[in-house]
A and B are shown apart, each in its own frame.
Chain A
Amino acid sequence: MSSSQGQAIFRDVPATVRKEANFGQRVYNSRFDYLYVAPALLVMLIVIAYPVYYTIDLSFFKTPASLSLANKTFTGLDNYVTVLTSAIFWKVTWQTIIWTVLSTLFSFLIGLGAALALHRAFIGRALLRGLLLIPWVVSAVAASYVWKWLYHSDFGVIGALLNQVGLADGPVNLIDNTTTSLYALIVVNVWKEFSFAMIMLMAGLQTVPESLLRAAQVDGASAWQRFWHVTVPQLQGVSTVTILLLVVQNFNSFIIPFIMTGGGPVGSTQIWITHIYELAFLRQNWGVGAAYAVLLFLIMMVLGYFYVRALTRGDDKRAGA
């Protein structure tokens, strides 16, 4: 047995056994692995770790528009207090929750429906799959402008159609209306995102064992029972990952609200990410914007933890098997 073969086998030894080798030895044995990931790690440190550190640092300073960042004043946790005690923050938080929950829920459900429909073979299935992918591949900026015109309160196609079929009489005001604007934007977001859920779930459906479904059918299970008791449990893993990714994506969804309404009317479509942008880049209130961003970062970290857990579920078991 050559030494390289020996090393390869050593790496395949279960974790519990490897613990017997000391830490330094293990690091030394994996030195080439560390070397290979070093460039990627370095880039991540520069483009991710440093900005995160800088944002956290900035969140403890007051940064008036008349002062350069070099002259910022340390104010401790003041910026966090400002954010958390602001009535606008809580209004925006509530809007962010509505935006995230409804966008995620409907994207997932519509995506699941589309995935189930497209899982069965029928003529034109490939074409339909391609068509349903269009919203996902279209640029969010372009889509936002198109939807803005579709919704247009004076000349929008949606309003014209509703008038034509007799469901409305006169201009249909969806996005220039403080009550309906957020929901109108959620519709656009769901349209844009459901394809993503569809692709993920279609992949998940491929992993549901055909033998289980047949066995259930032989045992007399109805279509609903087969779906509920066989398909859904098998989709649990991919569903968790999909939902987590949708939640993260929606929390950070900037383009649609910013382009379509700019957060208005009267802040009714303002969500965390657009609010942070407004504070930092339009009002140059970098300190408060940074504190706000740190709060968002913490939430993202929690979601990230669950995402990684969902992705690696069973890895340890497999490693120890």
Chain B
Amino acid sequence: MSNMDGRALRSEASSCRKIMGVSVALVTVASLMSTTVYGQTVDLSQWSPEYVKSIAGTKTFDTAADCGAVVPNDYAGNVSYWYTGPFEADPIISHEQDKAFWDAFHTAYPNIKTDVQSITYNELLDKFRTALLGNSAPMVIRLQILGGVEFAAKGYLNPITPEDYGFTAADFWPGALKSVTYDNTLYGLPTNNETMAFIWNAKVFADAGLDPEKAPATWDDVVAYSKQIKDKLGISGYGLVAKQNAGNTPFRFMPQLWAYGGGALDETAPNPTYAKVEINNEGSRAAVQAAYQMYAVDKSVPISALTNTQAENQAPFIAGQLGMMIAHPSEYAKMLDLASKATGSDKEVADAVVANMRYGLLPTGPDGKRAVVFGGSNIHVVKPEFVDGGAVDEQAVKALICMWDSPEWSTKLNWAGSNPGNINGFLTDAMKERLDTIKFLDVTTSMLPSGIPFPVLPESPEIMNIIVPDMLQNALTGNMTVDQATDDAAQKIESVIAGGGAGI
């Protein structure tokens, strides 16, 4: 047998294998298509700014046809939907995409009537609570990431599976699915997810003798950098936020606490039980100690931290009076806006700050652990008995959710403020366009794998917005020692999750 023969045989064998392979692939695809519209082709293990850029624009989707496989496009029915849509302050593109979605939906499903209400972020929860008490809720509602847990716990929401809507669990961030799982049951689907990033002023860093292009690697570095900036320049180093009764506080402090190995409960575990209190473990104490060091010992953060939210950090940052802070991806756009409004010498300073603005990953803890709060929203289906009219049109609901959470619309509808909840959205042309036009988007999206949702408990708002800020304030003001403050918080959390409330 000549080499050629061997090659021919191998070639034949190879062809057979190819045919077999293609057949298997086709069978697999066909079987998957029977339950899901979209197959996952995003590799989360490779997630990095470069990877995010490399996959954007590599796949196109025919959303109307894909959803047509879930609910026939000629289906006739009706669906009611409440969400927080774009309002006056939102960029024009958000309004355009919102309108484009509804046009596309009515084109794809011309016989489905929609009753849609866009309700402001601050009003949505209270209106929904009221509507539920009067059995006049919408069939579908989109709520902020932990907004749904209260309603799931109270039995208002329908358990669902991603497959019902043409998806699989692999189409979503694991952390995002965790945020909508209560008592081991899925009560919604993630529509969009975002994480914050670390922002610094490169000029401030350079003037303070720090590497202007390098973010602090660890939270201990943040403490040291903050002190160095304060000592050298006399301005605040890090924009600590510790206001009481403010959601801003846990969103910025919990990443630090988690990185040190702490937690409110065991929310950082792969399968959290939310039964174990960790707010007074060594890691949590180290994080509170680091905050105390910056506020009370080094005095390297704003004195106003106790009444500051992130909004109060924006003015000093654009004025070049603050070195570092944690903020949303949209912070860059906010700074551009502030700079455009500045005049005279303020304008020069503001423009220089914008030019020197840098985004990086949040620092790690001493053991290399990086963490950030997993933000975003979820879409939920309400049980029929609480819906206006007492019935839910399941097919119309499926059609709406399939389109809303499709790779295409999950990306376009979250153009300016977030990221697609359906991770296949990262493959779309729209994502490529976002990456090309929104500065630092690649960095901020790179924090997503480090995202940790707050404990998925109805008591979570009390733990995060009340107990955590109280703990910080007790320690920072010297009202209690770090150990006393964390023990006090632990006692309150135990009481809350035991159903007894944390006193008054």
Chain A interfacial positions (CB closer than 8 Å to B): 64-71, 82-83, 86, 88-89, 148, 152-155, 171, 173, 175-176, 178, 258, 260-267, 275, 278-279, 282-285, 288, 292
Q: How far is the CA of A66 from the CA of B458 in the complex (A)?
A: 6
B133 touches A154 (CB 8 A): no
Contact, CB under 8 Å: B303 / A173: yes
Total B residues in contact with A, Cβ cutoff 8 Å: 41
The answer for the CA separation of A73 and B293 in the assembled complex, in Å, is: 45
Cβ A275 vs Cβ B504 within 8 A: yes
Contact of A154 among B132, B316, B470, B476 (CB under 8 A): B316
Whether B459 lies near A66 (C-beta < 8 A) is yes
CA distance A154 to B154 in the complex (A): 45
Contact B462 A264 (CB under 8 A): no
CB distance from B482 to the nearest CB of A (A): 15
B9 on interface, CB distance cutoff 8 Å: no
Q: Which one, A65, A83, A178, contacts B459 given CB within 8 A?
A: A65
Docked-complex contact B307 and A260, CB < 8 angstroms: yes
Q: Is the CB of A65 within 8 A of B153?
A: yes
Cα-based distance from A264 to B466 in the complex (angstroms): 11
Which of B307, B462, B473 is close to A148, meaning CB atoms less than 8 Å apart? B307
**CB atoms of B302 and A154 under 8 A apart:** yes
Q: Which residues of B contact A65 (CB under 8 A)?
A: 150, 153, 457-459, 462
What sequence of 0s and 1s flags, for each residue 29-65 of chain B, a beta carbon within 8 Å of any chain A beta carbon? Answer: 0000000000000000000000000000000000000
- Complex: chain A residue closest to B246, CB-CB: A262
Nearest CB in chain A: distance from B163 CB, A: 28
Residue of A nearest to B504 (CB): A86
Q: In the complex, are the beta carbons of A265 and B477 less than 8 A apart?
A: yes
Q: Does B114 contact A (CB under 8 A)?
A: no
Asked if A292 contacts B307 (CB within 8 A), the reply is: no
Q: 8 Å CB contacts to A: which residues of B75-112? A: none
Q: How far does the alpha carbon of A263 sit from the alpha carbon of B503 in the complex, in Å?
A: 17
**Cβ A86 vs Cβ B503 within 8 A:** yes
Q: A265-B473, A283-B501, A292-B504 are in contact. Are A176 and B244 (CB under 8 A)?
A: no
B330 at interface (Cβ–Cβ under 8 A)?
no
Cβ distance A299 to chain B, nearest Cβ, rounded Å: 17
A277 to B309, CA, bound (A): 19
CB of A81, distance to nearest CB on chain B (Å): 11
**Do B315 and A154 touch across chains, with their CB atoms under 8 A apart?**
no
Query: Which residues of B sit under 8 angstroms from A284, Cβ to Cβ?
Result: 150, 458, 461-462
Known: A82-B503, A261-B307, A282-B465. 8 other contacts (CB 8 A): A68-B155, A86-B503, A89-B504, A261-B243, A265-B306, A282-B461, A284-B461, A292-B504
> Is B245 interfacial (CB 8 A cutoff)?
yes
Q: In the complex, A283 Cα to B243 Cα: how many Å?
A: 16
Please state if A264 and B245 are interface contacts (CB–CB under 8 Å).
yes
**B479-A266 in contact (CB<8A):** yes
Nearest-Cβ distance from residue A124 to partner chain B, whole angstroms: 33
B467 shortest CB reach to chain A, Å: 9
Query: Chain A residues near B245 (CB, 8 Å)?
Result: 258, 262-264, 278, 282
Q: In the complex, are the beta carbons of A283 and B306 less than 8 A apart?
A: no
A175 to B307, Cβ gap below 8 A?
A: yes
Is B289 on the interface with A (CB-CB < 8 A)?
no
Q: Are A176 and B458 closer than 8 Å at their CB atoms?
A: no
A170 to chain B, nearest CB (A): 10
From A68, A83, A148, B154 is in contact (CB under 8 Å) with A68
Across the interface, which residues of B come within 8 angstroms of A68, CB to CB? 132, 154-156
- A-side contacts of B462, CB under 8 Å: 65, 282-284
Interface centre among B244, B316, B465 (most CB of A within 10 A): B244
Q: Per a CB cutoff under 8 Å, which of B236, B244, B304, B504 touches A263?
A: B244
Which residues of B lie under 8 Å from residue A279 when comparing CB positions? 504
**Interface flag for B158 (CB, 8 Å):** no
Set of chain A residues within 8 Å of B304, measured between Cβ atoms: 152-154, 175-176
Q: Do B504 and A154 have beta carbons less than 8 Å apart?
A: no
Q: Which residue of B lies closest to A285 (CB)?
A: B501
Closest B residue, CB atoms, query A152: B304
**Cβ A83 vs Cβ B504 within 8 A:** yes
* B321 CB-CB contact with A under 8 Å: yes
User: What is the CB-to-nearest-CB distance from A44 to chain B, in angstroms, rounded to a whole number?
Assistant: 21
Q: What's the nearest-Cβ distance from chain B to residue A181, in Å? A: 8
